[in-house]
Structure 1
């Protein structure tokens, strides 16, 4: 038996590395803005909490609204073109932040930044799906997601250092430069679509591909609970008499990173649907444990199980969607599925916050567990329907 046959299709090619490098440069640029924008609104524009919320949320709003159209664009015109255009819009809008002399102007620029994000992110994640052999898609998504996690972990640290030492004008330029580096690397990635594959026409492209609907709902159920956990565990830790939740937040992120790197092939080996079920089961048990076992050990157990669930879930759900999507609709499929992340991160904390305000924080975690349980029920039913 040959070595090639034993090893299976190659995943890490020079094109894949270029794509990962471009994504890392982009997510670093994005991460630098996380601490810089709120501080700029509060100090330079003298805005209050509402102004900070508006400026920060404007980015997510335009990104969410445009995702279906960016998916169609990537399918018709190529993934790298979406990444290049998105990166340029991102860089240009961020470079203009220093010229904003009011909340209105900054929010308008943030809307443009969200436009750039919609194009770049959908282009990048779809290019990754093109380059991955079908039997290694879960591994590819796991490895790709590391660029996001590293960028959003290191980027804010860079942002704070630059703001403290060189000021806001400099951080806008540094972030824009990192985004332009992503553009240059994207130029080298090239067209990742299959050679000779049919291109979707304007008349038959669908904004919401059928293959994406169930996976999008599954991802919504998964991220809804995670978003609530991240929003309320800092306060819940204080309720338990702890000084903070840093240990739990770090532990959660560390578990996700370790599983998606060392265990990147788990979703492929277990199968996408089985991995989704395990993910949502772990998430349901995790949030139920936090809600009912209201002690520090209960929070530890819940955090570990939640980390496992989230680490397995996102790659498996995206793989499930890609396995059912035709090559001509991969961009639209990824755009639809990733919309769930935006919706869950926006509505999850709000709905669970209302629950906590009218009842208790443990009840909010119970509500999040219910969302995950509904996702698990959908995954089980979906598996039965597809096996008939």
Structure 2
């Protein structure tokens, strides 16, 4: 089967083109991270609650599309899913441009932006499920943790590089520049995978989502709680810096991304080697420390360090819980299983953004990081349950 690779396969070389394509594609999201909240707040006059709702709309839409994207990848092949995702991402940039044509009507512009976010969510869903299924098929399930580590590293490297690039582009060309870049960048990603061979689909018929969901739900809950720290940084770190008059937040995104990448490079092999639950158990503690540091920060240095610790901890929590999820799922539904697993990330971020927006409006932006620390702490308990072996494997 295409899902089994020789033991001596060079994982890095096999995944290099795919990793590069994911990095390029996720620049479209990275350049928006520090810019979109400020565009909504400054250009359109929206408050924290609306900012949270618009940012969360992408995650909600991604959640609803995971089952479709997973079955698409299993039945039509990972490459077709990834190519379709790149095309959707480019189209979202056209919607962003359309939102600027009605900027004098802020509410209408917000709704058009929401449509663009939904389209970007479909793109992200196809890219994530497609690349994970495709990557695991290329190098074998025994290297599944490495696949999640390398592809995830590419995503967050794109966030780290994209954030300051987005700020610079926004300063130079405004949000229109962000929209044009969103249209253009995915085509570079398409070029990166053009020479990669497509593999045969792993399934011939649609698998009900609930069947796979039952196998991955517990690791998924661990992912959901651990993802809250990531969610409050992406949605609200720019507003925290603005509230404290600290200037641009782009370096906070870079600190998060740099620590995330360092953890993946140095320790990305550990979930496959030591077990996902054991690795996640340690890493969520580091993530909690980062959230608490941001909550209590009175200088930018403390906030940068908190973002870095959050990124380092979350970096290995994702593949840690992910390895546990993959081991519980039937191999022929690997794309759908990864879609189901990542759906818990969507649930987390979709709920976190609006709730944190309401919390910020009532208690100040800093309060969301105390709530983030409390939420991430719950994933520690999930890792303990997984480690104890009391949960029956699917």
5+ residue gaps, structure 2, are 1-6, 103-107
Structure 2 residue aligned with 1:223: 227
Q: Please, what TM-score do these two structures have when normalized by structure 1?
A: 0.78
Shift of 1:343: 2.0
CA distance in 1, matches of 2:172, 2:290: 41
Structure 2 residue aligned with 1:48: 46
For 2:144, which of 118, 134, 137 is the aligned residue?
137
Q: Secondary structure at the match of 1:9?
A: coil
Higher relative contact order (CA 8 A, sep 6+): 2
CA distance in 2, matches of 1:110, 1:243: 28
| Residues 86, 116 of structure 1: 8 Å contact kept | yes
Q: Secondary structure at the match of 2:83?
A: helix
Structure 1 residue aligned with 2:185: 178
Query: Is 1:341 matched up with 2:348?
Result: no
Structure 2 residue aligned with 1:309: 313
CA distance in 2, matches of 1:117, 1:129: 18
1:22-41 aligned within 5 A:
22-38=21-37, 40-41=39-40
> What's the C-alpha RMSD, in Å, of the aligned pairs?
4.0
Cα 1:358–1:140, aligned 2, differ >3 Å: closer, same or farther?
Answer: same
| Residues 61, 122 of structure 2: 8 Å contact kept | yes
Cα 1:54–1:236, aligned 2, differ >3 Å: closer, same or farther?
Answer: closer
Query: Is 1:257 matched up with 2:261?
Result: yes
Structure 1 residue aligned with 2:105: none
Cα 1:159–1:295, aligned 2, differ >3 Å: closer, same or farther?
Answer: closer
Shift of 1:77: 0.7
1:91-240 aligned within 5 A:
91-100=90-99, 101=102, 102-103=108-109, 104-193=111-200, 199-202=203-206, 204-207=207-210, 209=212, 210-228=214-232
Cα 1:176–1:216, aligned 2, differ >3 Å: closer, same or farther?
Answer: same
Q: Secondary structure at the match of 2:195?
A: helix
Number of residues of Structure 1 aligned to a counterpart in Structure 2: 372
CA distance in 1, matches of 2:242, 2:97: 38
Shift of 1:205: 3.9
CA distance in 2, matches of 1:165, 1:354: 32
Shift of 1:280: 4.0
Q: Secondary structure at the match of 2:209?
A: coil
5+ residue gaps, structure 1, are 1-6
Q: Secondary structure at the match of 2:11?
A: coil
For 1:378, which of 355, 360, 385 is the aligned residue?
385
Larger Rg: 1
Structure 2 residue aligned with 1:80: 79
Q: Please, what TM-score do these two structures have when normalized by structure 2?
A: 0.77
